[in-house]
Amino acid sequence: MTTSRFTRRGLLKTGAVTGAAGLALPTIFTSRASAFTNAPMGDTVTLGFNVPQSGPYADEGADELRAFQLAVEHLNGEGDGGMLNTFSSKALDGTGILGKKVAFVTGDTQTKSDVARATAQSMIQKDGAIMISGGSSSGVAVAVQSLCQDAGVIFMAGLTHSNDTTGKDKKANGFRHFFDAYMSGAALGPVLAKAYGTDRKFYSLTSDYTWGWTQEASMNKFLSAEGWSQVKDVRTPVGAGDFSSYIAPVLNSGADVLILNHYGADMVNSLTQSVQFGLRDKMVNGKQFEIIVPLYSELMAAGAGKNIEGVYGSMNWNWQLQDAGTKAFVQSFGTKYGFPPSNAAQTCYVQTLLYADAVARAGSFEPCAVVAALEGDGSSLPGVDSASNKGLVFDGLGNGPTLYRSADHQCFKDALVMKGKSDPTGPYDNLEIVEATPVSKVWYEPDNEMFAGGDLGTCNNGA
C-alpha cells in the first residue's frame, strides 16, 4: 500500500518497538480468538479511509484522501513529519502506531449511506481495518458511525457538520473533530449583526435533509437573538442544479438578506445564480441586499469564483492561520501536492493523528482503551466555565487549544468567521479570516435542545 523507505535509524527504532510489542501479543491466534474486532496481528495495522470519490462531494473526498495519505506517511516516519512536530502530545515517534507500520485501504462512499456502509463493512470484514475515518456528508457519517459502533471499531468522523452527529445520533465509538452547525451560527450571529445591523429580515434556502435543517435552525436561533427576523424558509432538493425558481420569489419577499444553507455544488450554483439575478445590487428596506453562506469550504469558494466577494461564512480551519501547527501542515501538504489543504483535509489529517496518539497513549488497539484515551484525563479548556468542560485537551494541530469533550465526543475550539476576498490574488487566495470566535462563545452544554435525545451508550470492542 504505502511505499516503504527504509533507513537504518528507522529500522532500528521499528525493530526495538516491534520486539517489545511482539512479546506481549500472541501472534498465532486468528482474530476469532482475540478480545476485539480486527486486532492487528502482523507487523502492520490497517486503517480504512471511506470518502466520496464520485458524486457531488468528490472534490472534498479527493482532498480528504490526500490528507489521509500524508498522515500515514508522517506516522510511518516518512516526509517531514508535519504536525507531529508541533502536536502537544509526544507519544508518536514516527515508527507507525505501537511499532506497527500503518497501511490503509480506501473506499468510495458515493455520498450515499448505503454504499458507505457497504464499503465500511468490507474494510472491517475483509481488510481488517481497525479504525474507519472519512465522510463528506452528515447522513453518511451518522450511518457509518452506527455501523462502527455495532462492529466494534473506532470511527473518526471527517467532514460532517450536522448537529446530529454528536447530538441525537452520537455513539461511544465515534468521535468528531469538525465543528457543527450550532457553532457556525454562534460564531456568525454577532459578526453579522455588527456588519449588517440588528433589524434585518432574512430569507433562507435550505438543503432538504438533516444537515440543512440543523443548520437552518441554528442560524435562525442566533440571528433571532440579534434582532433579525426570518421572512421564510424554503427547502430545496439536494443536487437541484437550477435554483432560479427558488431565487425569483426572494426579490419580492421583503427580505434584505438571503441565507444559503447549501453545500458543495449546490452552494456554487445557488450563489452564482443569486448574483446573476442581481440580488446583491438591490436596495431593500433602504438597506443593501446581502447574501450569507453559513458553511464555507475552499473548494466551494474556488468554484463560485468572483461571486463570493464580501460574502460571510464560517470554517473549521483555514490554511492562512499563523500558528505553528498550521504552518507545518500547510508546508508539508504544499510540498507534496503543490497547493494548500482545505479544511476538510485538515480535519481528516488531525483525526488520524489523534487516533494514532490515543492508541500510543493507551498502549493498545483495543477500542475501549482507545475511547478512554480519547476521552482523556478530565482536564479542562481554560476560559470556559462549565461542569461539562472535561475531556482531552491538546494543542498544536492548527486550531489552538482544543478539547475533545468526553460527554459527547465533540471537539471544542475557536471557530473561524470568513469573508470572500475582494481582490483575490490566486485560486487559493479567495477567502479572508474576519475573526476567530473564541471557544467560550461557541460553547454549548451536551443537553442543549439542539443536541438532546441521543445517548453515547457504552464502547464496543466487537468480537
Partner 1 sequence: MLGLGRKDTTLFAIVVLVTVLAPFLLNPFPADSAMAQFNSGYPDLMQRFAIYGIFAIGFNILFGLTGYLSFGHAAFLGVGSYSAVWMFKLLSMNVIPALILAVIVSAIFSVVIGFIALRRSGIYFSILTLAMAQMMYNLAYSVFSNPAMNLTNGETGLQVYASDPQYLKGNGPDVTHLFGLQMNSTYEMSVAGWKFDFGVGYYLCAVIMLVAFYIAIRIFRSPFGIMLRAVKSNQHRLNYTGVNPRPYNLAAFVISGMYAGLAGGLLACMDPLAGAERMQWTASGEVVIMTILGGAGTLVGPILGAGFIKYFENIFSKINENVLHSWFHWLPESVQNFVVHVLSPFFGEGWSLTMGLMFMAVVIFLPGGLVEGGLRIGRLFRRRPAPTPDAATKPAE
Decide: is 314 part of the binding site for partner 1 (CB under 8 A): no
Decide: is 126 part of the binding site for partner 1 (CB under 8 A): yes
| 3 state DSSP class of 410 | strand
CB atoms within 10 A of CB 5: 11
Q: CB-wise, 14 or 214, nearer to partner 1?
A: 214
Least separation in angstroms between residue 185's CB and partner 1 is: 19
Decide: is 272 part of the binding site for partner 1 (CB under 8 A): no
| Residue 332 host element (H or E) | helix 324-337
Going by C-alpha positions, the residue among 454, 455, 448 that lies closest to residue 183 is 448
Kindly write out the interface string for residues 226-265 of this chain, putting x where it contacts partner 1 by CB under 8 A and - elsewhere: ---------x-xx---------------------------
Contacts of 4 (CB under 8 A, 6+ apart): 101
Q: CB-wise, 91 or 118, nearer to partner 1?
A: 118
Contact call for residues 270 and 258 (beta carbons, < 8 A): no
Q: CB-wise, 12 or 35, nearer to partner 1?
A: 35
Question: Measured between alpha carbons, how far is 95 from 336 in angstroms, rounded to an integer?
Answer: 20
CB atoms within 10 A of CB 312: 22
Decide: is 337 part of the binding site for partner 1 (CB under 8 A): no
Question: Measured between alpha carbons, how far is 453 from 463 in angstroms, rounded to an integer?
Answer: 28
What are the φ and ψ backbone dihedral angles of 176, each rounded to 5 degrees? -125, 130
Decide: is 216 part of the binding site for partner 1 (CB under 8 A): no
Query: Could you tell me which stretch among 202-210, 335-343, 348-356, 404-412 binds partner 1 (CB under 8 A)?
Result: 202-210
Among residue numbers 34 through 53, which ones bind partner 1 (CB under 8 A)?
42, 53
Decide: is 121 part of the binding site for partner 1 (CB under 8 A): yes
Give the cell for residue 144. Answer: 457509518
Q: CB-wise, 209 or 428, nearer to partner 1?
A: 209
Question: Measured between alpha carbons, how far is 47 from 123 in angstroms, rounded to an integer?
Answer: 8
Decide: is 451 part of the binding site for partner 1 (CB under 8 A): no
Question: Measured between alpha carbons, how far is 309 from 321 in angstroms, rounded to an integer?
Answer: 20
Among residue numbers 166 through 195, which ones bind partner 1 (CB under 8 A)?
169
Among 75, 98, 102, 147, binds partner 1 (CB under 8 A): 147
Interface residue list for partner 1 (CB under 8 A) = 1-3, 30-32, 42, 53-54, 58, 105-108, 112-115, 117-119, 121-122, 125-126, 137-139, 142-143, 146-147, 150, 164, 169, 208-211, 235, 237-238, 453, 455, 457
